Structure formats: structure tokens, C-alpha cells
């Protein structure tokens, strides 16, 4: 579904990604783990066109999208939930969800998808009229994911959904991410510092250090890998 081939990305003169190669098959949950500043967010931003690779290729469903504009990439079915959530704080929960569907005009489908989001996240149904900014951190993360789902993505990019949230809330959100993948077949690219949980819900994973992919395997094998245990699982 998605492939990065020898991707190099920069911020001005600073190189953030070095020859990154990775692939994602349809229906997979792929986990990308790594320390602060390793280049995880840059990888996601390179996929969705916010950062353009200086060399290498990003290929999505057999089509090169390396130099496509972000709005064109969203229209192709790739949707990102950015780090820090970035919901619209003054809009209500319901209006935030409507914003997620701004490129659609199938009214009945939109209505059905809003109901689906409310089934997935019942707390959002309870708070549908409240401003997004009044929600707790965990609820805002749920709203950010639900808003992304309203665009009917084929590939959902999640940037550190666990950031700043209590462990119980994180577990709840990861369970729902797994449910979204199982129920709708949405392919998920999950970037996380919480390696333990992310590797538990992922099918395959990549480990990134200093802008490079240094290890890749099934998540089961990565969880058992001694270097991963030492560096990322605190074992």
C-alpha cells in the first residue's frame, strides 16, 4: 500500500531522514518506534507531503506521491492525526467531526460515519455539543482520531497518540485503534515512544535511530529482541 524508497528529508540544511526504506501492506498495523528526535514525525510528515523528501520516493498504491501537495494526498485516502492532537478548540465535538468530512458530500454516509465514531467513542456522543477545547486530553485524542476517520482514510497515520495521557486512557485508545483496524480494515501507521504498547498492537515494526531505520521485524520478535528490550522497553 505504501512504500518509502531511500527517502532523505531535510529541514533547511539539517538532514532528518537518511535513506529510509519501509513498506506497509494493506490491512496492517505498522509501528515505528524510536527515541526523541529520531525522525519518526518527520517520516509521517514526509508521507503526507508536509515535508517533501529531497531524494528517494514515496509510493502509495503503485503511484508516486513524493512531490504531491498535502491536500491531494489526503484526497487519495491518507489521513494524519498529528502529535498534540490539534483539534478545533472552539468548535463543538460534532462540528469537529463535520470538519473531518469536509471533502465529502455523501450526506447519508457522513451521518452513518458520525454514528460509527460515537459507537467507537461513546464519551464523544455524550459531549457532542461541548467545545472541543473543554475535553480532557484523552477525549481530545479520541476526537482527533474520530475526526480523521470522518475522511474515510485507507491509511491512517497516528503520531504519538499516547503523548501526555494516563496509562489507562492510553490502553483504551490503543484498543480502539486495534478495533478500527479489525472492523474496517483501515491500514494504520503508528508512531510511538510508548514502544511496549505500540508493539503489542502492531503486526510489524520498524526501529528508528538518528534518522535511520536500524531494525525491522514482526512486533512479536521486536518485543523479544534484547537490544529493543534494553533501549525501548526498560527491561
Residue numbers at the binding site for ligand ATP (CB under 6 A): 11, 14, 16, 34, 36-42, 83, 193
Closer CB to ligand ATP, residue 43 or residue 140? Answer: 43
Q: Which of 155, 158, 148 is nearest to 59 (CA)?
A: 155
Q: Which is nearer to ligand ATP, 16 or 78 (CB)?
A: 16
Q: How far apart are CA 215 and CA 228, in angstroms?
A: 9
Q: 80 or 96, CB closer to ligand ATP?
A: 80
Residue 197's closest CA among 158, 162, 149, 234? 162
Dist CA 27 CA 222 (whole Å) = 20
The nearest distance, CB 29 to ligand ATP, in angstroms, is 18
- Rounded to a whole number of angstroms, the minimum distance from the CB of residue 11 to ligand ATP is 3
Distance in angstroms (rounded) separating the CA atoms of residues 30 and 198:
9
Write down the least CB distance from residue 7 to ligand ATP, Å. Answer: 12
Q: Rounded CA gap, 45 and 50, in Å?
A: 5
CB of 178 to ligand ATP, least distance (A): 22
Rounded least distance, CB 180 to ligand ATP, Å: 22
**Pick 113 or 160: Cβ nearer ligand ATP:** 160
DSSP 220: H
Strand 2-11 versus strand 29-34 pairing type: unpaired
Amino acid at each position: 500500500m505504501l512504500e518509502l524508497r531511500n527517502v532523505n528529508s531535510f529541514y533547511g540544511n539539517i538532514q532528518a531522514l537518511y535513506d529510509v526504506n519501509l513498506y506497509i501492506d494493506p490491512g496492517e498495523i505498522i509501528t515505528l518506534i524510536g527515541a526523541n528526535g529520531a525522525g519518526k514525525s518527520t517520516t509521517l510528515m514526509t508521507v503526507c507531503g508536509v515535508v517533501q523528501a529531497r531524494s528517494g520516493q514515496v509510493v502509495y498504491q503503485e503511484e508516486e506521491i513524493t512531490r504531491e501537495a498535502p491536500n491531494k494526498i489526503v484526497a487519495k485516502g491518507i489521513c494524519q492525526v498529528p502529535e498534540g492532537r490539534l483539534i478545533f478548540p472552539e468548535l463543538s465535538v460534532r462540528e469537529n467531526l463535520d470538519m473531518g468530512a469536509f471533502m465529502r458530500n455523501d450526506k447519508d454516509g457522513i451521518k452513518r460515519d458520525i454514528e460509527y465514531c460515537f459507537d467507537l467513542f461513546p464519551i464523544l456522543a455524550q459531549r457532542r455539543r461541548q467545545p472541543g477545547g473543554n475535553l480532557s486530553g484523552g477525549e481530545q485524542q479520541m476526537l482527533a482520531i474520530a475526526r480523521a476517520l470522518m475522511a474515510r482514510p485507507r491509511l491512517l497515520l497516528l503520531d504519538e497518540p499516547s503523548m501526555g495521557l494516563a496509562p489507562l486512557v492510553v490502553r483504551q485508545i490503543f484498543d480502539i485503534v486495534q478495533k478500527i483496524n479489525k472492523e474496517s480494515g483501515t491500514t494504520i501507521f503508528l508512531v510511538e515512544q510508548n514502544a511496549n504498547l505500540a508493539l503489542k498492537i502492531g503486526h510489524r515494526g520498524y526501529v528508528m535511530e538518528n534518522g535511520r531505520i536500524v531494525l525491522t521485524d514482526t512486533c512479536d520478535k521486536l518485543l523479544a529482541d534484547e537490544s529493543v528490550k534494553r533501549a525501548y522497553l526498560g527491561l
